[in-house]
Structure 1
Amino acid sequence: MSKRDLIIEKSMEILSERTIASTSIQDITNACGISKGAFYLSFKSKEELLIAIFEYIIKDMTSKFQSILSLQVAPKEKLTQYFVLAFELFEKNSTFISTHFRELVTIVDQDVTEKIQKHFLIADNMTLLLLREAYSSQIEDSQFDLLICIRGLMKGYAEFIVFQKQPIDYYELSKLLVNRIDILVNANLKTLITKEMYEQKNRHISHIQKNDIIVEIENCKEDYVNDSFTIDTFDLIIEELQSEHPRKALLLGMSSNLKTNNHLRWLSVLLKQFCDEM
């Protein structure tokens, strides 16, 4: 684990019970067993750390969602497992999110907002892939309406779980959600949210660019200086991305290799998304 990830994970533990204002950098460095100088090599301030934690949570969730796509199960069971994972991850992070979301809103700028929105767009694309696999041509016109409906259903149940603190069987809840989606699909209702409307909303958010992946690789390299195989993999990916016509099959192969490493799953997601958009 890199020093940056260590700081993030230890800070999440501390900040799940305290505000950012009541937590000193000394508290964080003591928990990590590092010096203040080491902290400032990774983060300029507590505010920058808070932004990094939220991004870390979103990356972790999106990386784990990616693993659902390759499950060898029936499409609707895959969709069910996707919802189960979403509720489990929400429960795991709900205390931190509810405590610090307002603090985050007050400190983010436009660049950070767009970066976070890009992560959510990747998650949306995964949901759409699962829906298309489960319902095929039935949802050609309604898939974006369904996406909005699913967000609303999940948000409502998530709020109930947090505030009512009732024990919930996430698998049974997720099967119920899939049943609700079945009803919406088969009802053949008039579509409101079209593909054009959805894409217009996200047009200002750029797709995954080659440079996004190269920057991510450069950020990862220092943690693998003694792992020649991984460093060679990084170099091969960069070389391929910088070529005039990157080979999709090769990049997808590299993505599959990377996803076996928990700390490189986000890089794998970026590569897969880039290939899907080629």
Structure 2
Amino acid sequence: MAKKQLIMEKALELFAKQGFEATSIQQITEHCGISKGAFYLSFKSKDELILALVDHFMMQFTADIDYVVRNTADEQLLYQFYFTIFQSFQKHSDFAKVLIKEQTQTVNSELVEKTHYYNSLIEKDILVMVERLYGEAVKEIKYDLIYCIKGFMTTYSHLFLFFNVPIDLDLLSQSLVEKTNLLAKHTTLPFITDDLLQMLEQPIKEEITKEKLISLLEQKIEAIEEPIEKESLSLLKEQIVTPSLSPAIVKGLLENIKSHPDCKWISYLLRKHFVF
């Protein structure tokens, strides 16, 4: 395991047990079995470490949601959307607890900005899903529906975060599909209008340019050892620089990398770039 990854995993164990503020860099290095010097080669501070954790988990979470929204048949889409979300909450409950606690206790502007950034990406995917599933029938209430879906996500996630009880993901997902369909069908009085939404929206500072995407690909190609993923990344980089492959081949290359835990975010960015 790479040292940076080791630090993140071991630090998360401590943060989940005793909180962010109560955990020192000394405790983290002792838990990792490394020196402070080795820690500072990977992270400049504890704040940088927590931001790296936010990026690591939110990139995977966002990429998984986006893949489901863009690659699932309509009749299963809403169910798979909820199932994927709560499966992720269940798997990464320790991280979610740390993030929620940190958000309520900190005024760290960079953490707030990152949270807003990923939240805005997820909202866009929910909008794509809502428009695809319900079309013109929810034109006037689609933004209210987005807020309701996000409310379901937040409220029901508490079952995984604060209660140590077994959760039937299948039943939960089916239940929320039913609730969402009822809202889509019977809601008649909109509250979130286009004008209000524009007032609520904040500018997103993290824009991924073509040059930035190529740079990220080069870093990933250098880091990845698996031959299929490595070659797929190289071919995708060439496709950005000099397009020559058919859409079907590009989609196949994206499929090759999407399940690799270190390639989920780059596959998300590439889907956006190639408009898949």
* TM-score (normalised: structure 1): 0.79
Q: Which moved more, 1:37-46 or 1:164-173?
A: 164-173
Query: 1:204–1:252: structure 2 CA closer, same or farther, 3 Å change rule?
Result: farther
Query: 1:125–1:220: structure 2 CA closer, same or farther, 3 Å change rule?
Result: same
**Which residue does the alignment assign to 1:77?**
76
Shift in Å at residue 94 of structure 1?
3.4
Alpha-carbon distance between aligned partners in 1 of 2:214 and 2:153, rounded to the nearest angstrom: 34
Alpha-carbon distance between aligned partners in 1 of 2:107 and 2:187, rounded to the nearest angstrom: 43
Shift in Å at residue 265 of structure 1?
0.9
**Which residue does the alignment assign to 2:254?**
255
Aligned pairs for 1:1-278 within 5 A: 2-69=2-69, 74-99=73-98, 101-103=100-102, 106=106, 108-110=108-110, 112-160=111-159, 162-163=161-162, 165-195=164-194, 197-198=196-197, 201-202=200-201, 204-206=203-205, 207-224=207-224, 230-231=229-230, 233-241=232-240, 249=247, 252=251, 254-276=253-275
Alpha-carbon distance between aligned partners in 1 of 2:82 and 2:96, rounded to the nearest angstrom: 19
Query: 1:85–1:230: structure 2 CA closer, same or farther, 3 Å change rule?
Result: closer
1:55·1:116 contact (CA, 8 Å) conserved in 2?
Answer: no
Q: Which moved more, 1:17-26 or 1:97-106?
A: 97-106
The AA in structure 2 aligned to 1:51 is L
2:93·2:160 contact (CA, 8 Å) conserved in 1?
Answer: no
Residue by residue over 1:124-156, the C-alpha shift from the partner in whole angstroms, topping out at 9 and shown as x without a partner, is 222223323332332233222110011122322
* TM-score (normalised: structure 2): 0.80
Alpha-carbon distance between aligned partners in 1 of 2:115 and 2:264, rounded to the nearest angstrom: 17
Residue by residue over 1:93-140, the C-alpha shift from the partner in whole angstroms, topping out at 9 and shown as x without a partner, is 334433454445626334x53333222222222222332333233223
Alpha-carbon distance between aligned partners in 1 of 2:143 and 2:204, rounded to the nearest angstrom: 17
1:94·1:162 contact (CA, 8 Å) conserved in 2?
Answer: yes
Shift in Å at residue 60 of structure 1?
2.0
Q: CA RMSD for the aligned pairs?
A: 3.3
2:11·2:28 contact (CA, 8 Å) conserved in 1?
Answer: yes
The AA in structure 1 aligned to 2:157 is A
1:7·1:39 contact (CA, 8 Å) conserved in 2?
Answer: yes
Shift in Å at residue 248 of structure 1?
9.2
Q: Which moved more, 1:126-135 or 1:8-17?
A: 126-135
Shift in Å at residue 160 of structure 1?
4.9
Shift in Å at residue 215 of structure 1?
4.5
Secondary structure at the counterpart of residue 17 of structure 2: coil
Structure 1 unmatched runs, 5+ = none
Q: Which moved more, 1:27-36 or 1:181-190?
A: 27-36
Query: 1:119–1:162: structure 2 CA closer, same or farther, 3 Å change rule?
Result: closer
Number of aligned residue pairs: 273
2:96·2:161 contact (CA, 8 Å) conserved in 1?
Answer: no
The AA in structure 2 aligned to 1:150 is I
2:97·2:161 contact (CA, 8 Å) conserved in 1?
Answer: no
Structure 2 unmatched runs, 5+ = none
The AA in structure 2 aligned to 1:183 is L
Query: 1:96–1:161: structure 2 CA closer, same or farther, 3 Å change rule?
Result: closer
Secondary structure at the counterpart of residue 193 of structure 1: coil
